[in-house]
Amino acid sequence: MDTDPDKVEWLTIREAATRVDKSAKTIRRAVTAGTIVGQRSGDAKNAPWLVSSVSLADQYPSSTQEGTASVLAEQLSTALQMMSDANTQAMEATERAAIAETVARHLREAIADLRDQLETAQAEPQKRRGWWRR
């Protein structure tokens, strides 16, 4: 069993418990008893324990596979949800772009109409009338 810290995945007690579907107390007891390899994450007396994933898989082989499967299923579900959200956002962005293009086209038409009206108004001679004749 390879327990070199650089090559082994180290899990917290909670992560290990979740992975093998056991309680954190059970995992802590197994570490204390030496059936699962564990080490403190720091030098402090109350530093949290880290558990070797290899040792955990050796001690609870079927639970580890089931736990891994459930973790993978959860990750897949999350990835699918994120993909669905991204697709929804892309569709909404496409709709907004189409609306923006329509608004821009209407504005161009309105500007063209206003220019035509301005040219027509400037081309007509101004008739000056007194204010009483309006």
Angle, CA of 84, 87 and 93, to the nearest 5°: 145
Helices 61-123/13-20 angle, 10° precision:
100
| Rounded average pLDDT over 1-30 | 80
Backbone angles phi, psi at 40, to 5 degrees: -75, 145
* Host H or E run for residue 10: strand 10-12
**Residue 63 is encoded by which pair of tokens?**
């639970």
Q: How many CA atoms lie within 13 A of 130 on its CB side?
A: 2
DSSP line for 77-126:
HHHHHHHHHHHHHHHHHHHHHHHHHHHHHHHHHHHHHHHHHHHHHHHSPP
Mean pLDDT for the chain overall: 83
Confidence of residue 4 (pLDDT cuts 50, 70, 90): low
- pLDDT of 103 reads 95
**Residue 126 is encoded by which pair of tokens?**
């101004």
Query: How many Å is the Cα radius of gyration of the chain?
Result: 36
- pLDDT of 120 reads 83
Q: List pLDDT tens digits, range 51-79.
A: 888 888 888 776 555 566 777 788 888 88
